[in-house]
Amino acid sequence: MVANIIRREGAIGYFSTYDEKTSRINRKIMNYIFIAVLSALGLFIGILLCMELGRRLGFASLKQDPDAAQKGIGAIEGAVFAILGLLIAFTFSGAATRFEDRRHLIGQEANAIGTAYLRIAILPEEAQQELQELFRRYVDMRVATYRNMENKAETSARLAKQAVIQNEIWTRSVSACRHPNVTAAAMLMLPALNEMIDITTTRVVATQNHPPTIIFIMLGVLSLFCAMLAGYGMSCRGRSWLHVITYAAILSITLFVIMDLEYPRRGLIRVDSADSILIELRQSMK
């Protein structure tokens, strides 16, 4: 009776701690989304202000020299807008590719772990139970690691614990393969483990793979500069609020989506759905 009460209290404590961690992670995600939306809104307002500045500069030029104000600027505008378009295209394409790569890596890791787990069955029976339990702990740790990447100290600690479990799995598997009664088929376990361990480093590198910060700064500055040129060009034709707001909105939303794709564990576009593969794998480990 007492033991059952203790177990229930322990379970309640575990789930309350889990709920607290989940709510803390959700708060961090919401804070990041709020900051990202504010940044996009700030860029939207900045583009509108730069267009108005360019328009006023255009009016000043027209007053000084109405005939020469617009001469020779078409080539410059075309070149600058082409650079902006290329930069957005390459940045967006790279962010989308890296997003898909991160999703595929989760599937590859699940396949590698699942294959290694199934091959435990060809090892000696006395080694199977301990290895299966180590695999369950390992998958739990892998799922938990990528739920909160914001806290670098916790992430580093989890990765260190995973390395310990990996080393223990490898050591016990090698020891089991050296058993005198082991068959040649049991040696298939080691390549599967090697792939399972290698994919962890690949995922860490993929998580940290982003363009240099100067690229994003250049995108923002070039967007504002192009807005000023667009406003300058409107000075001789009148202002169309539809075109002004559409240009500012599309550019701001595009840059917001690029940033969201680059950091898929923080914003609205998330790679978390792919984690369900690992969760389903863990549930199958009975």
Instruction: Check if the beta carbon of residue 281 is closer than 8 Å to that of residue 110.
Output: yes
Q: What is the pLDDT of residue 71?
A: 60
Q: Provide the residue range defining the domain that includes 274.
A: 2-61+104-284
pLDDT at 5: 38
CA–CA separation, 63 vs 8, rounded Å? 82
What's the pLDDT at 63? 77
Helices marked H in 65-188: 74-118, 125-145, 152-177
Would residue 120 count as lying in a domain? yes
Residue 72 resides in a domain: no
In a domain, 70, yes or no: no
What is the pTM (predicted TM-score) of this model?
0.77
pLDDT of residue 251: 93
Token pair recorded at residue 68: 């020469």
The segments of the chain whose pLDDT lies below 50 read 1-19
What pLDDT is recorded for position 182? 67
Is residue 142, in this structure, part of any structural domain at all? yes
pLDDT at 255: 92
Say how many domains are in the chain: 1
Residue 97 lies in a domain: no
Rounded to 10 deg, the angle between the 152-177 and 125-145 helix axes is 160
**pLDDT tens digits, residue range 102-144?**
999 999 999 999 999 999 988 888 888 999 999 999 999 998 8
Residue 151 resides in a domain: yes
Question: What token pair was written down for 252?
Answer: 């701001």
pLDDT at 83: 92
pLDDT, tens digit, 9 for 90 and up, residues 187-221: 788 899 999 999 999 998 998 889 999 999 999 99
Quote the crossing angle between the two packed helices 74-118 and 213-234, to the nearest 10°: 150
Transcribe 41-60 into DSSP letters.
HHHHHHHHHHHHHHHHHHHH
Q: Is 6 part of a structural domain of the chain?
A: yes
